[in-house]
Amino acid sequence: MHEATQKLANAKAESRRKLEEKRQQHDDELKHLDDILVKPAPAPPPPPTAAEKAAAIHAEAAAHDQLHEAELRKLDTERHERLHRVLFQACREGNAAGVEAAFKAGAQINYTASDGTPAMVEAAKGGAESVKIINLLQSRGASLDKPCRRGETPIYTALKNENLSGLQELFKLGAKSFGQNKHGNQAISLALGNDNPEYCKAMIKAGATLTPGMLDGLKKKAETLPAFKEVVALVEAPAPKQAAKLSEL
């Protein structure tokens, strides 16, 4: 038994010796690869010259100026957008003092909202001082007929929001474009759908025409709402004859 144990110990020792020799052989064979991979550290760059230092300072100053200008433009844009948000809110809510304050602060009359809505369309939505605001905008050059991207003009918007005084003021100032929405619904249809005949009267006096079907619907409405009989009479009234020219007298 002792002899077998000694023999096993000797075999293990011989195995470890052979493994160590093999490891050493591999190290010797591949050492040159390590030498190839180890590169010398690069030499430090030479100190910058006076010209290079000046150029670096100039570049840094230019970059700072560009950043400063970008920040100024950003602030100007933010002020511009905030100012016109105030203008449009004042128009929408019928706050004439707010509209005047916005213009005094630099608001532009031709500015349109992100959805293409001009200030006059906002003013036509109504509010306590809608008529005054419509006049304020018109006096500064705002178009009475410019629509939003949906095709809704100030006239259409006044009808849609049941702003009778605003509608009458638009016609008084010379608004001509009745407009329609993106679905093709015309302004006269809104007027006919309202139970207040004054909307129809204003539209017809401004030159709006009714199709035969619209006229039939109007007559039926007049049967239940007698006030619309005046509208029917207005539609069916003969066109006024033009005055004779002086050369024909």
Over residues 125-144, the mean pLDDT reads: 95
Token representation of residue 41: 């550290």
Integer Cα distance of 195 and 228 in angstroms: 9
Each residue of 166-207: pLDDT tens digit? 999 999 999 999 988 888 889 999 999 999 999 999 999 999
Q: What is the pLDDT of residue 164?
A: 96
Q: What is the pLDDT of residue 35?
A: 67
Query: DSSP label at 55?
Result: H
Integer Cα distance of 123 and 31 in angstroms: 87
pLDDT level of residue 242 (50, 70, 90 thresholds): very low
pTM above 0.75, yes or no: no
Integer Cα distance of 65 and 203 in angstroms: 58
Over residues 134-150, the mean pLDDT reads: 95
Q: What is the pLDDT of residue 247?
A: 33
Integer Cα distance of 8 and 176 in angstroms: 115
The mean-pLDDT minimum among 16-25, 71-80, 99-108 falls in: 16-25
Contact predicate 153/174, CB 8 Å: no
- From the list 59, 49, 133, the residue with the least C-alpha distance to 91 is 133
Integer Cα distance of 21 and 16 in angstroms: 9
Q: What is the pLDDT of residue 248?
A: 35
Q: Is 47 exposed, middle or buried (0-12, 13-18, 19+ CB in 10 A)?
A: exposed
Q: What is the pLDDT of residue 187?
A: 92
Integer Cα distance of 64 and 61 in angstroms: 5
Average pLDDT over the chain reads: 87
Over residues 97-122, the mean pLDDT reads: 92
pLDDT level of residue 243 (50, 70, 90 thresholds): very low
| C-alpha pair distances (Å), 234 with each of 90, 156, 164 | 37, 21, 18
- Angle of the 197-205 helix axis to the 229-236 helix axis, nearest 10: 10
